[in-house]
Amino acid sequence: MKTTARFTAGTVACLLLFVSVSARPAAAGAAENPAERDARMRWWREARFGMFVHWGLYSGLAGTWEGKPVGDKGGMEWIQQRVKADTGTYAKKAIPLFKPAPGFAKEWAKLAKQAGCKYIVLTSKHHDGFALHDSKVSDYDAGSVLNRDLIREFVDAARAEGLRLGFYHSVIDWHHDQYEYALSKQLPHPLKGKPYPNGKRDHAAYLKFLHAQADELVSNYGPVDVLWWDYSSQDFEGDAAWRAFDLMAAVRAKQPAIIMNNRLFRNPAAGWKSMGTDGFALSIDSKYGDFITPEQHIPATGMPGLDFEVCMTLNTTWGYSAHDHAWKSDETLIRNLVDIASKGGNYLLNIGPKADGSLTPETVKAFRAIGAWMAVNGESIYETAASPFPYLPWGRSTARKDGSGVTLYLHVFDWPAGGELKVPMKADIAGVRLLAAPDTKVAVTADGKHTVLRLPAAAPDKIATVIKLVLKSAPKIDMSVKQPAAK
Ligand code: H79
């Protein structure tokens, strides 16, 4: 909700100050040495699994416009753009349908906790421009429209479950009347190609607003663990588009420990290869952000030394749609989590709550299934490192260094016929245990190239049975066993 003056003299002075330091773009990261960075990133690297929440005005529309489904696939958080509605038309239809129930976030946080998520990231504002907090610099926010601060309610619910929390914040804005969408040919806008309905626009005024809202989010809710920016294009990114270095520095000044992604940028040094959400590069210069963000796509191989987080939907949409029934199976979801951990990354798995905050039965079922698996096998995911094997024909692995020894977790997807599992390594083994069947005896032999494990005839867990191997020293891995070339 707006108060009298949009920007105080102090804000303007601060903005000017940030402009003056922008000649030193690495300012935010440069003060930090590698050990400090490792300490800051530690919880995130150990967490491996988080819940993403896409929730906003679009949730009430539920993929329907003027009584008709807009489609049964794809992101219905984009519905305003899909139907090419101006913000007034969109708001008029969507606002009456957005009816958050009291305590809406409690179920999300409980489900996240139950599933084994360590953090939860909510859309504070998506591309439609509607902010879920009580913003002093906007009338298009939950404070103005519902007289509520939905971010406060979310933060309280997340903290009550002991979860780390973050905000997804779109820098694209389909509402703000000074956002100069014609500056980018690549970024989406419902009115793209059409003249501004309000005459000339002043993008700098939009940027003041963007920076002020980000400041509210990092000032008013205690520690914020993650800022998940979305997104930039090759033709509109970074300083030119968002005054990105100032924005990052201002956020860091308020939240020194915060972890931010790379989406204020879209260039190779920032971890991007193309405009495709799977077009990521295998490196990132930390001045552009802390981690890279493959979307709806798992990298083919691990990325040594690189922090990455794969975000994915449960069906095909981020925002709730009544028409999307393409739910991923429990097997796919759990194996994705394992696959990503084996490559050294995090999995940010999305829920799209309905307008009242409630969840579909499919959503609850999926997260509970992951939770049941994690309750037994979580130690093979949390605080682990990427697989030391170039390739395992039957599944995946993760590893952990323990004193002078190493613990390997083998995740068996394809149970060996006859129960004999060949692991392409020589190793000095101190202990072996099936996490899902701890009392089952497993005999270990060697056949020259392999360590051979004699397992029960049937898999204790059909989705992914985890074998914990405690080794006295680092294994000698057969590096010649490689992934076959894709057909
Ligand atoms: O918030 C989610 C997406 O809305 C957002 N990022 C995630 C986390 C996103 N914005 N742009 N993109 C992703 C890239 C473009 C994706 C597209 Fe589509 C695929 C545009 C058209 C097809 C998905 C489906 C979005 C609209 C329809």
Tell me the pLDDT tens digit for each residue of 434-471. 999 999 999 999 998 899 999 999 999 999 999 999 99
For the Cβ of 174 lying below 6 angstroms from any atom of ligand 1, the answer is no
**Token digits of residue 162:** 């002991």
Distance CA 406, CA 415 (A): 24
Which pLDDT does position 402 carry in this prediction?
86
CA 212–ligand 1 middle distance (angstroms): 25
Q: Distance, CA 74 to ligand 1 centroid (Å)? A: 8
Ligand 1 and 78: CB distance under 6 A: yes
Is a pLDDT exceeding 60 seen at residue 5? no
Could you read off the pLDDT of 416-436 as tens digits, one per residue? 999 999 999 999 999 999 999
> Is the CB of 413 within 6 Å of ligand 1?
no
77 lines ligand 1 (CB under 6 A): yes
Residue 240 has pLDDT above 90, yes or no: yes
User: Residue 238 Cα, ligand 1 centroid: separation in angstroms?
Assistant: 19
What is the tens place of the pLDDT at every residue in 386-398?
A: 999 999 999 999 9
pLDDT digits (tens, 9 = 90+) for 35-76: 999 999 999 999 999 999 999 999 999 999 999 999 999 999
Residue 383 confidence class, pLDDT cut points 50, 70, 90: very high
Q: Which protein residue has the closest C-alpha to ligand 1 atom 12?
A: 277
Asked if the model's pLDDT at residue 19 lies above 90, the reply is no
Q: CB–CB of 78/94 below 8 Å?
A: no
Average pLDDT over every residue of 228-251? 98
* Strand partners for 425: 477
**Is 75's C-beta closer than 6 angstroms to any atom of ligand 1?**
yes
Q: Ligand 1 pocket test: pick from 51, 59, 78, 173 the residue with the most ligand atoms within 8 Å of its Cβ.
A: 78
Give me the percent of the chain exceeding a pLDDT of 70: 94
Query: Which atom of ligand 1 is nearest to 172's Cα?
Result: 10
Report CA(429)–ligand 1 centroid distance (Å).
Answer: 47
pLDDT for the residue numbered 30: 58
Distance 65 CA to ligand 1 centre (A): 18
Instruction: Answer whether residue 369 shows pLDDT above 50.
Output: yes
Q: Is the pLDDT of residue 361 over 70?
A: yes
283 confidence band (pLDDT: 50, 70, 90): confident
Report the pLDDT value the prediction gives residue 24, as an integer from 0 to 100: 35
Burial class (CB in 10 A: 0-12, 13-18, 19+), 264: buried
| Class of the CATH-defined domain 12-380 | alpha beta
* Residue 227 CA, ligand 1 centroid: distance in Å: 18
CATH code, residues 395-477: 2.60.40
Distance 293 CA to ligand 1 centre (A): 13
Q: Tell me the CA–centroid distance for residue 48 and ligand 1, in Å.
A: 23
- pTM assigned to the model: 0.94
Beta sheet of 443-446, edge-to-edge order: 420-423, 451-454, 443-446
Q: Please, which residues have CB within 8 angstroms of residue 356's CB and are 6 or more apart in sequence?
A: 99, 100, 101, 104
| Whether the CB of 324 sits within 6 Å of ligand 1 | no
| Residue among 171, 173, 227, 230 to mutate when testing ligand 1 (max atoms within 8 A of CB) | 230
Domain ranges of the chain: 12-380, 395-477
- The phi, psi pair for 233, rounded to 5°, reads -125, 165
- Rounded distance from Cα 78 to ligand 1 centre (Å): 7
Q: Mean pLDDT score of the chain, rounded to an integer?
A: 93
Pick from 132, 277, 316 the residue to mutate for probing ligand 1's pocket: most ligand atoms within 8 Å of its CB: 277
For residue 309, what are the β-bridge partners?
A: 346
Q: DSSP string covering 40-64, please?
A: HHHHHHHH-EEEEE--SHHHHHTTE
